[in-house]
Structure 1
Amino acid sequence: MRLLVVTQKVDKKDPVLGFFHRWIEEFATRLDFITVICLETGEYSLPKNVKVLSLGKKQNVQSRALDRFVYIFRFYKYIWQERANYDSVFVHMNQEYVILGWKFWKLWRKKIFLWRNHARGSLWTHIAVSLSDKVFCTSLSSYTARFSKTKIMPAGIDTDLYADNIGEYKRNTILFFGRVSPVKNVHVFIEALLKLEKSGADFHADIIGDTTDQWYEESLHKRGARLENIGRLVFHPALSHEQTSGLYKKYSFYVNLTSDGSLDKTILEAMAARVPVLVLNSAFRGQIHDICCLTDLNSLSVSEKMKTLLQLSAMERENIGVALQEYVKREHDLKYLVELLMKEMA
């Protein structure tokens, strides 16, 4: 089978999209040839049966209207010139490409598969889904989960990468990792830390990630000023995807306060590293230990749960971590995902 993959970025060091480099590598072990069309490229090293074509967006440069016209022109150029080199199309996250390319792909009898995991959708989402042969997502809370042609899939975590980096952790340390934005509820996390500090708990917390919302970032520093001044809270810039493999293991536990909609990969990466987590997403309730799940979003309940996790003995932490790692390997491993996708796209 030969596959055209259309995605946003191919860059193994990208903090957010770097994981997709491993997806392409794993696809390459199962397919004869892969053509990748992406909006932009960074650093990548892929097998010989993978060809990468960039639409030309430059990193960290805002696109203008003329640039977008060039991207669309190149998109049509590439799908035409490569049409004999692929049998099916896998569009990752960006539904716009389905809407742009469907006429040609249907004319050439190429099957269209859409992976879309956002919590929200629009009329364009309905159109993209109607034009696709199948749709994939990882959560019942994803907008596309409502459609009959949608298949719920594993999240695709490279469990071997994180399992190989298990080691000693520093007690009483808390990690909050990912894009710093209101949807991540970082402000609630800081309010919970303030309550935790007031209760007399001993801890150190790191928030790691970049933001494009300057106002929000400034408001977080104002909220957490006292904790920063006494060394209880430190903000750090984002890390490349490659650097995350050794990150989680250093902490007592990881906190993620993203609401329902999709399965945040960082949660599953932390689990794969055998690290306890504290999560808001209801998809995990009944799947993992109750101590790791929040039932509502308020700073008091987050603070109380974090205090409980801080009080775990080394053995209790290890037992919870092992169970979480087994869950991810069983339900969300990358090899398992690719195996299922190959069957669905056959």
Structure 2
Amino acid sequence: MTRVLVYIDDLFTKGGGERVAMYFLKSLLEKRIDVYFLALTDVNTFEEINNYYQKNREKFVKGWLFSRLLYVIPKKNKIISMALDYLFLFSMYIHLFFINRKIRPDMFIVIANTIYQNVPFIFHKKRIFSWGLTPFTKKWVLFFHNIILRLGLKKGLLTLVVGSKQQKQMSDREYKSYISVIPIGYDDILFNYSGEKKIRNRIAYVARISPEKRVDLAVEAARLLKERYRDFQVVIIGDSQNRRYYEEIKKKITKYKLSSYVKMIPKSSPAIIKKNLLEAEVFWNFSEGYGGVVNCEALACGCIPVVFKNFKDQIGDNGYAVNNLEEAVEATIKILEMNEKDRRKLALKCSRYAKKYSRSIFEKKLIKLVLHKLQES
């Protein structure tokens, strides 16, 4: 039986990468491919992965504690960051050596935050399907890593796949020709809108509570909106991944006297996300990155998006892609001041548009490319 090892750094949260891991799992199992996981954390994520873990614990390998520490230690300056990256490479390479001897996978699937996480896998000379990389631009260059990456790409060992055209466009020029785009998919059975009545002037912001998701900007936007528009409520839905940041957000809400305007729901199960998106008229997203499944879920639930321009290619001409918070507030007021008929019409248009990002289409494209690469092995 064909075996695949899926690497993802964190399986103890419910983010975009974990959703993609769930999609991979379903698609691979349907093709009777044996799936193993390597993660740096314990397993407590989406139900499909949790259920697979409960039935197949022997197929989940936890990364060495040393590797985990190297990954989470704050990289305060260039020298520390480079040193940690090289130590992480060495630690992962050694661990993969033992994993390979035991599992003998035919392919690695790497769900990575940076392109450099692929390097230890390249040394083991198997096909690598790398998903979800953020743009590869960095303030400094890891020369050894870059040499190995180029070799992996030129020899056809490494396949790079991202979830949006914008993500590819923002990547380093030297890698663009090697990048494929498969638009991220969402669960179109769970997330859908049929014109149900929404809560008037409700705004949703869905993201795990961590700095890169810029949840603090949602509070800042609420502060600016309050100066011009009084009748609204912002609901922030997401797990508290960074406790200190979560407390900072709460302090800001109190400082700006927004307690009656901003509500935090520190949970993010698909059912909770769906409920809150179906109730909201507007969806905000000011986070980093260039593609996210939550944008698709919001569209599918009939939320009119007001997002930063890095998400422009995901929302198309539905809603508003803005440059800053002032523009976001302007766009939000325009939506809130629409008459109910026009707002509902736009909500239905957003929901129909989202169908192009359905999970079933996404899974078919993923597995087609994975099978093609396995055949090349």
Residues 112-261 of structure 1 mapped to structure 2, 5 A cutoff: 112-122=128-138, 123=141, 126=146, 127-128=148-149, 130-131=151-152, 132-142=157-167, 144=171, 146=173, 147=175, 148-163=177-192, 167-209=196-238, 210=240, 212=242, 214=244, 217-218=247-248, 221-222=251-252, 225-229=255-259, 231-241=260-270, 243-259=272-288, 261=289
Are 1:14 and 2:14 an aligned pair? Answer: yes
Structure 2 residue corresponding to 1:77, chosen from 87, 98, 102: 98
The residue that corresponds to 1:312 in the other structure is 338
Change (3 A) 1:241 1:22: farther
Contact 1:10–1:21 under 8 Å retained in 2? no
Contact 1:139–1:152 under 8 Å retained in 2? yes
Contact 1:23–1:334 under 8 Å retained in 2? no
Contact 2:38–2:60 under 8 Å retained in 1? yes
Contact 2:302–2:351 under 8 Å retained in 1? yes
**Shift of residue 227, structure 1, vs aligned partner:** 3.5
Are 1:326 and 2:352 an aligned pair? Answer: yes
What is the aligned-residue RMSD (CA, Å)?
A: 3.6
Are 1:296 and 2:306 an aligned pair? Answer: no
% of aligned pairs identical? 18
**Secondary structure of 1:162 counterpart:** coil
Per-residue Cα deviation, 1:195-218 (whole angstroms, up to 9, x for no partner): 322224411112233353736853
**Shift of residue 244, structure 1, vs aligned partner:** 2.1
**Shift of residue 15, structure 1, vs aligned partner:** 4.9
Amino acid at match of 1:189: A
Change (3 A) 1:121 1:237: same
**Secondary structure of 1:263 counterpart:** coil
Amino acid at match of 1:295: V
The number of equivalent residue pairs is: 331
Are 1:272 and 2:288 an aligned pair? Answer: no
Contact 1:33–1:50 under 8 Å retained in 2? no
Change (3 A) 1:80 1:277: same
TM value normalised by structure 1: 0.79
Per-residue Cα deviation, 1:288-333 (whole angstroms, up to 9, x for no partner): 335x223311x32221111111123343333223322332221x22
Amino acid at match of 2:308: L
**Secondary structure of 1:54 counterpart:** strand
Amino acid at match of 1:9: D
TM value normalised by structure 2: 0.73
**Shift of residue 135, structure 1, vs aligned partner:** 0.6
Deviates more, 1:218-227 or 1:265-274: 218-227
Structure 1 residue corresponding to 2:123, chosen from 79, 82, 103: 103
Contact 1:136–1:151 under 8 Å retained in 2? yes
Amino acid at match of 2:112: M
**Matched residues in 2 for 1:268 and 1:46: separation?**
26
Structure 1 residue corresponding to 2:107, chosen from 88, 111, 121: 88
Amino acid at match of 2:61: S
Contact 1:157–1:265 under 8 Å retained in 2? yes
**Matched residues in 2 for 1:200 and 1:36: separation?**
49
Q: Which runs of 5+ in 1 are unaligned?
A: none
Amino acid at match of 1:268: C
Amino acid at match of 1:312: M
**Matched residues in 2 for 1:337 and 1:190: separation?**
33
Q: Which runs of 5+ in 2 are unaligned?
A: 45-49, 74-87, 373-377
Change (3 A) 1:295 1:170: closer
Per-residue Cα deviation, 1:211-230 (whole angstroms, up to 9, x for no partner): 5373685377336634424x
**Matched residues in 2 for 1:53 and 1:102: separation?**
21
**Shift of residue 263, structure 1, vs aligned partner:** 0.5
